Amino acid sequence: MAYFLQQFVNGLTLGAVYGLIAIGYTMVYGIIGMINFAHGEIYMIGAFIAMIAFAVLGVAGVASVPMALIVVLLLAIVFTAAYGWTVERLAYRPLRGSFRLAPLISAIGMSIFLQNYVQLLQGARVKAMGPLFRGGFVLMEDEGFRVTLSYLQLFIIVLTVALMAGFTLLIQRTALGRAQRACEQDQKMAALCGINVDRTISLTFVLGAGLAAVAGLMSTLYYGVIDFFIGFLVGLKAFTAAVLGGIGSLPGAMLGGVLIGLIEAFWAAYFDAAYKDVAAFSILILVLIFRPTGLLGRPQVEKV
């Protein structure tokens, strides 16, 4: 039981990271009906910016961990949001009126470009960083096995819940959220009602990139190692999480992320860890067979 509970904690932490990235996918899909396949690389860039910022603060002699976290978080969000805005301006806006396959190809091209761009700037070798958080809570002990919740895991889970609640309120209660929901329903009618559609879509990309930056910071702190290729597989899993939960649904994206994280953690604990990705994608296939819209997704009704 103790081992099971420990894997549950580990899977919940991993799922929180996937969920934050998946929200970026589902926000972009909800407003323009297309998948931003460069989103995984935005997450990767956020992780690199976080590690570089930590290194600079270390050289500058900043010893306060809370201060360093706040500064790094703000820097990562600002710079990564700029990359998200650029992706929208270069890869999506010029092709918004084209056939649907064109922006998809453009996004894949942007993904490959960003991978090689970071590889040229930072090198292909793995970058490592020492642990910033130490210690934690002992939840239970059974026959010598301790179930621990580290301070870092608690920080990741609490921050994810807070961001999820904040974005839910943003979508439901603010003018930007109303503009996003209007653009999701009908962009032309939203424009006729006075909504700046281009600005709303750009802000959606910026917000999604900001969440990817937070996820990149979390991964940097949790694993301590990054490279230029981490965005591909993590982005693919986050996209899987968004589809599993129901693409276009923010709670569904978070639910899908948590489920993918739990599946990976339990499969690696009780079965061959080399096949944990196969298990996650197999669950996705089964869900889509019996519920094509995902767990919390709603069927789309096309008006004629």
pLDDT in tens, 117-171: 999 999 989 999 888 888 888 888 877 778 889 999 999 999 999 998 998 898 8
Q: Is residue 43 part of a domain?
A: yes
pTM: 0.91
Q: Does residue 287 belong to any structural domain of this protein?
A: no
pLDDT at 304 over 70: no
**275 to each of 170, 172, 182, 222, how far by Cα in Å?**
38, 39, 42, 22
> Can you give the pLDDT at residue 137?
86
Lowest-pLDDT range of 14-18, 69-73, 190-194, 290-294? 290-294
Residue 299: what pLDDT? Answer: 61
What pLDDT is stored for residue 172 in this prediction? 87
pLDDT on residue 77: 94
pLDDT tens digits, 172-189: 889 999 998 898 888 889
pLDDT surpasses 70 at 199? yes
User: Structurally, how many domains does the chain consist of?
Assistant: 1
Instruction: Please give the pLDDT value at position 273.
Output: 84
- Per-residue pLDDT, averaged over 49-63, amounts to 90
pLDDT digits (tens, 9 = 90+) for 6-46: 999 999 999 999 999 999 888 888 887 778 889 999 999 99
Q: Indicate whether 205 belongs to any domain.
A: yes
Q: Tell me the average pLDDT across 217-239.
A: 91
With bands split at pLDDT 50, 70 and 90, how would you rate the model's confidence at 296?
Answer: confident
Q: Can you give the pLDDT at residue 102? A: 86
pLDDT, tens digit, 9 for 90 and up, residues 239-266:
889 988 888 788 889 999 999 999 999 9
Is position 54 within any domain? yes
Task: Indicate whether 98 belongs to any domain.
Answer: yes
Does residue 145 fall inside a structural domain? yes
User: What is residue 301's predicted lDDT score, i.e. its pLDDT?
Assistant: 53
**Domain region containing 195:** 29-231
Instruction: Compute the mean pLDDT over every residue in the chain, rounded to the nearest whole number.
Output: 88
